[in-house]
Amino acid sequence: MQFALVNGERSEARPGERGTCETCGAEMVAKCGSRVINHWAHASKTDCDPWWENETLWHREWKNLFPEECREIHHVSSDGEIHRADIKTPTGIYIEIQHSPMSDFERIAREKFYKNLIWIIDGRGFRKNFDIYHMLPAPESELAQDLVWSKAKRSMQGAAAGLFFRVSANQDYQPGATKETLRGGYIESIHTIKDKIEETYRGHHQYDWVRPRKTWLDAECPVYIDFGDDYLVKLEVYDETALPCIRFVSKKKLLHDSVTETSADSIASCFYPFP
């Protein structure tokens, strides 16, 4: 942990210091050295917050993007359960910074507990299993209403490059077809409409996550993957065909919105032109 109470004050770990845990009141010892980031650890095994994972440099760098009073914040549920969130913004959004894989059971419990929550997960360990493919037009654009995309897979190079059916062009083939029902017809390649897509583009792409960490695909709260770039990758569902997609969201945008919006779902929901 980054903070413990020393003489009643929230303090960072310094060599040789002792303090108490803000969550459980147990004794904490400062762990400082060249091989670890300075942190506090419980002096003896305790049943303090079981959801807490050991802090990595990656955790610490994320937390440090927020003011100190937003980090390691307790939340107590109505039945007295207590946990410590990585970040709680001044507008009431909880942010959990997650490095390790997580079970469905724990993911669901944490979503129920915090409710107004976003996940930021460390993607650096599975980047090679995560392909990001062609651009998609903004889902609310007129263009998008007419297109049914072939789902991209690493093993299907064509679809990964961008193939689609048009609802309007396939009414002879399948009269009355809509986006939900159209299942085939005259197939087109993205190259014919690339300019039009670029006009409406705001960060959506097809992707394939080979051997995915499935719990994140089922999450109820927004999931942002950090691959170590300036842009985070948000997992989304694109349209009424339930096409999975990702959206690039800049870290700056996420940081800005998380302290101005009051609802986790509103983060990155309001758009400015994408650079």
The residues of the shown chain that bind Zn ion, judged by CB under 5 A, are: 21, 23-24, 48
CB of 1 to Zn ion, least distance (A): 8
Nearer to Zn ion by Cβ, of 20 and 89: the residue is 20
Q: To which H or E segment does residue 94 belong? A: strand 94-98
CB of 20 to Zn ion, least distance (A): 8
CB count within 10 Å of CB 64 equals 11
d(CA 262, CA 275): 26
CA distance 6 to 59: 23
Q: Which is nearer to Zn ion, 19 or 123 (CB)?
A: 19
- Based on CB atoms, which residue is closest to Zn ion, 83 or 253? 83
**To the nearest whole angstrom, how small is the minimum distance from the Cβ of residue 148 to Zn ion?**
52
Tell me the closest approach of the beta carbon of residue 49 to Zn ion, in angstroms: 7
The first and second tokens of residue 159, run together, are 């679809």
80 sits in the region (left: phi over 0; alpha: psi -120 to 50; else beta) called left
Look up residue 128 and give its two tokens: 């090679």
Q: Which is nearer to Zn ion, 110 or 205 (CB)?
A: 110
Q: Is residue 82 classed as helix, strand or coil in its secondary structure?
A: strand
Closest to Zn ion by CB, 24 vs 132, is: 24
Tokens representing 175 are: 């009269």
d(CA 132, CA 130): 7
